[in-house]
Amino acid sequence: MIKESRSSPQEGHRQRLRTRLERSSDASLEDHELLEMLLTFALPRKDTKPPARELLARFQGLTGLLHADRRQLEDVPGIGPRASLLISLVAPLVARSQSEGKPVRTVLSSPEAAGSYFRSRLTHLQVEQVHAAYVNARNAVTAVECIQEGTVDQSVVYPRKVLERALFHRASGFILAHNHPSGDPTPSAQDRQLTDLLVQAARPLGVRFLDHLIIGEGPPFSFRSHGLIPPA
């Protein structure tokens, strides 16, 4: 006679969880069920349902559990060194995956740093472009946009557009820069007027207008360095 092999109740339960996981990813599983599945890799011969429920109850959910000390984890009945190690690896792996591939943000901490940043973008252009770098509270660049492209010698910029984009990016502040294709970075009357309008418009919104740079040949012209923009 051929004897039928019988799986244990816990193995049948695990197989049902695996089937649901394969069919619908993690969407159909409760937190304790996902944790049960994880614990099977450290506790292959034990019923992982009771310790999974106890872990979630003791640490008040997944966030508390994944940041718990290994010694605290091992105080839970059924959780030994292998299981505590497995759980403790989840949080750092998630943190690393979230930071993976994120670019290092450039900090524009001075007119010189901002000038160098924009020179690489604007020096060789044959037409005038106006760019805005939007920064966070630490002056790290979070977004850069070309606000306007003009003719060979002029560009029309509307302060409203500059500030609308600042609010869109939830920026703490911004730096404006444009090039003079002639090579002469001396500000024109229109450049000065635009700067004054932006100073007046940015203040009520609580957005810091950090500088306006003109890129040409030689060092960029900084409105802030020349005292034409008040301290932010």
CATH of residue 210? 3.40.140.10
Tell me what percent of the residues of the chain surpass a pLDDT of 90.
Answer: 60
How many domains is the chain built from? 2
Confirm whether 106 is domain-assigned. no
Mean pLDDT of 183-193: 95
How high is the pLDDT of residue 215? 96
Q: What pLDDT does 144 receive? A: 94
**Judgement on whether residues 72 and 119 belong to the same structural domain of the protein:** no
Whether 4 is in a domain gets the answer: no
| Lowest-confidence segment of 102-111, 156-165, 180-189 by average pLDDT | 102-111
Residue 2 forms part of a structural domain: no
Mean of the per-residue pLDDT values of the chain: 87
Specify the DSSP class assigned to residue 140: B
* Averaged pLDDT, 32-61: 90
Neighbours of 178 (CB within 10 A): 27
Looking at the fold, whether 189 and 115 belong to one and the same domain comes out as yes
The CA-atom distances, in angstroms, between 231 and each of 66, 224, 225 are: 45, 8, 10
Confidence of residue 66 (pLDDT cuts 50, 70, 90): confident
The CA distance from 100 to 24, in Å, is 26
| 110: pLDDT strictly greater than 90 | yes
For residue 230, being part of any structural domain is answered with: no
Higher pLDDT, 16 or 6: 16
Please tell me whether residues 83 and 178 are part of one structural domain: no
Q: Give the pLDDT band (50/70/90) at residue 79.
A: very high
Q: Do 35 and 91 reside in the same domain of the chain?
A: yes
Identify the residue with better confidence: 206 or 2.
Answer: 206
Res. 226: pLDDT tops 90: yes
Query: Once rounded to an integer, what is the mean pLDDT over residues 9-15?
Result: 66
Q: Report the candidate in 124, 113, 154 with the shortest Cα–Cα distance to residue 217.
A: 124
Residues 65 and 135 in one domain: no
- Residues 126, 202 within the same domain: yes
Residue 91 is predicted with a pLDDT of 85
Q: What is the span of the domain harbouring residue 125? A: 111-222
> ∠ CA 71-73-78 to the nearest 5 degrees?
115
> Does 136 reside within a domain?
yes
Q: Are residues 92 and 133 in the same domain?
A: no
The type of residue at 28 is S
Same domain for 117 and 59: no
Q: Are residues 35 and 68 in the same domain?
A: yes
